[in-house]
A and B are shown apart, each in its own frame.
Chain A
Amino acid sequence: MTATLEDDVLPPEPTAVELGLDSAEKPRSMFRRGWEVFAENRLALVSLIFLVVFCLFCYLGPVFYHGDAFVSNLDAVDLPPGAGHPLGTDPNGEDVLAQFMHGGQISVNVGVLSGLISAVIGTLYGAVAGYLGGWVDALMMRAMDAMLSIPLIFLLIYLGMVYGHSTTLMVLVIGFTGWFSITRLIRGEAMSIKVRDYVAAARMMGGRGPRVIWKHILPNSIGTTVVNTTFSIAGAIFYLSTLSFIGLGLQAPNVDLGAILNTGTEYVDQGYWWLIYPAAVAIILVILAFNVIGDALRDAFETRLQKR
């Protein structure tokens, strides 16, 4: 063998098959393989489809359906579902279906935005703490432990009181309090990846901190990040609806599904089920859908690394 290769000197190249590497197909990218695993989970597929449909319903619905969520029609109070009002009317005469669509939009908006904010903060905080280690890490973690110890609901209630209940503020409040659990996980990942041989190899080649984090730590913890973003979105919707339900979240006219339930449940005794169950079922299904997708994503990311 010499440094310059001449074709007629080389013996025939061994085929990949002989060497035991898979058949001659081009290796599928990891993304495709992950998708295949995800798609195998039928429940997750169903959830995904449901979410898409739900979003279309809530966002595009008002374009087609012209019920008015905000117009009081005191002649048509508390009507059960019927002509003109597929989901009936509420005590103010407002159309429930329209309210529902609007509420759905808000729940999803706030949920997704807060979830994303939490994910970004959590990932950065965790990666830095995990990679740096030492006293920086210790300090950051102690601070986080303190914040984690306070049941989130108390914090949300308090901050809601302080900052008010507008949508933007709710997004920020929930977003800035929901990142604690993600941090823990990402930090764990960063710490375990930090000591892997391939990081040592990169350092030995002369690689430095930022490169190591960018090329090695983040890509290898992307699974955790994506999965937990999904869970944190689910969690955000969870907390938002909970807060609104007890009256300490979003308030009229910016009602989300939880707030709808707040008013609705007062009429349980009258049997005005249309004020309650549509919203309740919607919340349940949306949160579940996100959770199921998160779970399936977790499986998809894990099997990517295994031989099929």
Chain B
Amino acid sequence: MPLLELKDVRTEIRLKRSTVHALDGVSLTVEAGQTLGVVGESGCGKTMTAMSIMQLLPNGGSVTGGEILLDGRNLLELSEAEMAKVRGNDIGMIFQDPMTSLNPTMTIGRQISESVRIHRHAGKTEAHERAVEVLSLVGMPSPERRALDYPHQLSGGMRQRAMIAMALANEPKLLIADEPTTALDVTVQKQILELIDGLKERLGMAVILVTHDLGVIAGSADKIAVMYAGRVVENTNTEALYVNPRHPYTEALFDSLPERGAEADTKLYSIPGLPPDLTNPPTGCRFAARCRYARDTCREQDPQLDGETSEHRYACFFPVGAVEKSAKEIPVTLSEATSSEELPQTSIGAPLLTVQNLVKEYPITAGSILRRKVGAVSAVSDVSFTIYEGETLGLVGESGCGKTTIGKLIVGLEDATSGQIDYADTDLAKDKGARDRYRKQIQLMFQDSYAAMNPRMRVRSVLREPLDIQHVGDKASRDKRINELFDQVGLPRTALERYPHEFSGGQRQRVGLARALTLAPKLIVADEPVSALDVSIQSQVLNLMKELQAEFNLSYLFISHDLSVVRYLSDRIGVMYLGKLVEIGPAESVYANPVHHYTKGLLDTIPVADPAVERAKEDKGIEGELPSAIDPPSGCRFRTRCPAAQSLCAEQEPPLVPFGTNGHLAACHFPLRTAEGAPAPAVTLPNPTIPPATVPAEDTKADADAGA
């Protein structure tokens, strides 16, 4: 008997004037010791499924049909008191954002022991001991001390570990993880996923992993259920899903992944349109309106979840491979074309903007009366690079690496502490007047366009603002320009009268892009422009950016933490760590032949949507936590987590030197390979100890045998 079984579950959420049919007949099973991945985009119902199991639905939500059987017991028939005994005891759950999911005024030890006290009726000391025990189980360094800490004193990864500890304190049979790694850095993400995997084995649990990230699922799940618009559309084991997706939505999802586009060098496929409105679900197959293979049958009848084998089921009348793609195209906007087109090519020209020895420090003040400067956060430390005309330079790194700060420095939102920004023969860092003059030519595109637009201004005014401020043309020409811009980003002109909140996320990003283009800039700094978007929408915006670049010969400084997106769009990639530029070079070169250990670590930890590749990864990735930016490690800043670190690394900062002739540079004393491409000689010496004063206590040292 499966551990958990969902049979035809229906969930509704009653709003003031309408009802959202969040789940419409969801059936799933999970066996003990197995990980079920539930994947889909926002609004598909994956989180609602998790909430329905736990009976944690929001106000107005209720399960209106079906059964949820845990070990044969129907959870829906339990009273609230009985369900409370199940939660935290038989089923544990962890959430996406550990910062807000933990009570900020209670120590984490107390929050964990609370769980123990509720279910095992343990006394205070006993519960606390158990809390410390569980904390060490989840790999928290110095568990006794951490148990007395408050959530805001811990890093993101540690907070998530605390949450896991809380969920597992009573050794539940099932762990539900709702987007557990989305709010974390990539390197920490890998640690947490492995932790969950390891715990699953040790405790013999089952795990439901809910996520939108196809790469995360590839490495961690045994079986996968793909959800769309409140239903399961495909359900099978992991290999089968990736190798042989049957449902058109699954196939379309894979096609939208930047990884696929980067390899084939083609435009990304984007799924046209938007998911259906669940207050008024369409008849027939819910994906029909956006499906490449849709026929009339699809719009009239509901496909059931079925398949040739019970192992691989899908809900589609015309699954992948069964029919030819329909010749009749559904009307789409300009940038939502099909995937087989070639990418528009840009020619890369002369250097446009050069950053030299750029430094930015944020002072920290303390003191009771007068605030004295007691230290500084080193956000950007001696960074130099060049952006060429027509190229896209991608800047990647994890949180705190300084990439966003560099973006702000370049557009002039912050003043550099020292260094130069050379543009058109002037130093923008020093010459404020020049900065004003060249403002038109360097523009910024924000991550969250909603926050970046005045909510009380109609979009027309939002687009007009740059023109107004810079006194470009007259009213008539400004309006004309705005209309043109909207056409170029593929939005209807009638939408100009709307307010920002009326647009969807992807559309807002387009408006943001349009605004960035208003002044006809030469360089656009795009700070995480697609990070908040679903994969299928991401591809729309990325395609658009590519097209506009070709048309206007734009340069982009593309800042992101997402390596696969960066790789798709960039000509060259720069990798940053803790304020330093550790590697930079042509995208393919950096990707295929990284020189710096951090780059390699990053590449290894990024989940790839290919189970075979994921399984083959033996490397444990990058261990340890990010050191403090206030007191960064001496010499090479990465040495505290680097498998190849030596004493030299602590004494001398490695310079950025070329590796090969294609402009690939890296800063490392003991790189992964030499300039000629051959791997560096293996280091056989064990790591000599590094002076403890500069090593944070929580750090884990890598094994001595790790070398090149």
Contacts and interface: CB of A to CB of B under 8 A. Distances in A.
B443 A204 contact: yes
Nearest to B412: A204
Contacts of B152: none
B497 A21 contact: no
Interface stretch (A83-91, A158-166, A181-189, A195-203): A195-203
B349 interface: no
Interface in A93-152: none
A1 B543 CA distance: 13
Interface stretch (B80-88, B246-254, B326-334): B326-334
Given A12-B331, A204-B443, A307 B502 contact: yes
Contacts of A200: 413, 452
B502 A197 contact: no
Interface in A242-294: none
Contact of B488 (A1, A13, A30, A215): A1
Interface in B474-518: 484, 487-488, 490-495, 497-499, 501-504, 507, 515
Interface in B375-428: 411-413
A200 B452 CA distance: 8
Interface stretch (A47-55, A67-75, A205-213, A226-234): A205-213
B547 A1 contact: yes
Nearest to B456: A219
B551 A1 contact: yes
Given A14-B492, A205-B439, A198 B499 contact: no
Among B332, B333, B456, B494, the one with the most A-chain Cβ atoms within 10 Å of its Cβ is B456
Given A26-B497, A27-B502, A30-B499, A5 B452 contact: no
B301 interface: no
A220 B412 contact: no
Contacts of A26: 497
Interface residues of A, number: 39
A20 B457 CA distance: 20
A63 interface: no
A207 B457 CA distance: 16
A300 to B, nearest CB: 14
Interface in B421-452: 436, 439, 443-444, 446, 448, 451-452
Contacts of A202: 465, 469
A20 B274 contact: yes
Contacts of B273: 18-20
Contacts of B412: 204
Nearest to B466: A205
Contacts of B547: 1
Contact of B492 (A19, A30, A198, A203): A19
Contacts of A20: 273-274, 504, 507
Nearest to A208: B469
B456 A30 contact: yes
Contact of A206 (B439, B448, B498): B439
Nearest to A211: B469
B469 A19 contact: no
B444 A201 contact: yes
Nearest to A306: B501
Contacts of B490: 14
Of B274, B453, B469, B502, chain A has the most CB atoms within 10 Å of the CB of: B469
Contact of A204 (B333, B334, B411, B455): B411
B444 A11 contact: no
Given A20-B274, A211-B469, A3 B484 contact: yes
A197 B501 contact: no
B454 interface: yes
A198 B453 CA distance: 5
A16 B497 contact: no
A12 B446 CA distance: 30
A14 B484 CA distance: 16
Given A198-B452, A216-B454, A21 B503 contact: yes
A18 B330 CA distance: 11
Contacts of B297: none
A11 to B, nearest CB: 7
A306 to B, nearest CB: 7
Contacts of B551: 1-2
Contacts of A205: 439, 443, 465-466, 469-470, 519
A176 B503 CA distance: 44
Contact of B507 (A2, A5, A19): A19
A8 interface: no
Interface string A9-48: 0111111101111101011001000000000000000000
Nearest to A304: B456
Nearest to A24: B494
Contacts of A14: 331-333, 490, 492
Contacts of B504: 20
Contacts of A30: 456, 499
Contacts of B448: 197
A64 to B, nearest CB: 45
B446 A201 contact: yes
Contacts of B446: 197, 201
A92 to B, nearest CB: 55
Nearest to A33: B499
Given A1-B547, A211-B469, 10 more contacts: A1-B551, A14-B332, A19-B495, A20-B274, A30-B499, A201-B452, A204-B439, A205-B443, A220-B454, A305-B455
5 contacts: A2-B551, A21-B503, A22-B498, A197-B446, A211-B469
The 7 closest A-B CB pairs, nearest first, are: A197-B452, A197-B451, A205-B466, A20-B274, A198-B454, A206-B439, A206-B469
Interface of A: 1-3, 5, 10-16, 18-22, 24, 26-27, 30, 196-198, 200-207, 211, 215-216, 219-220, 305-307
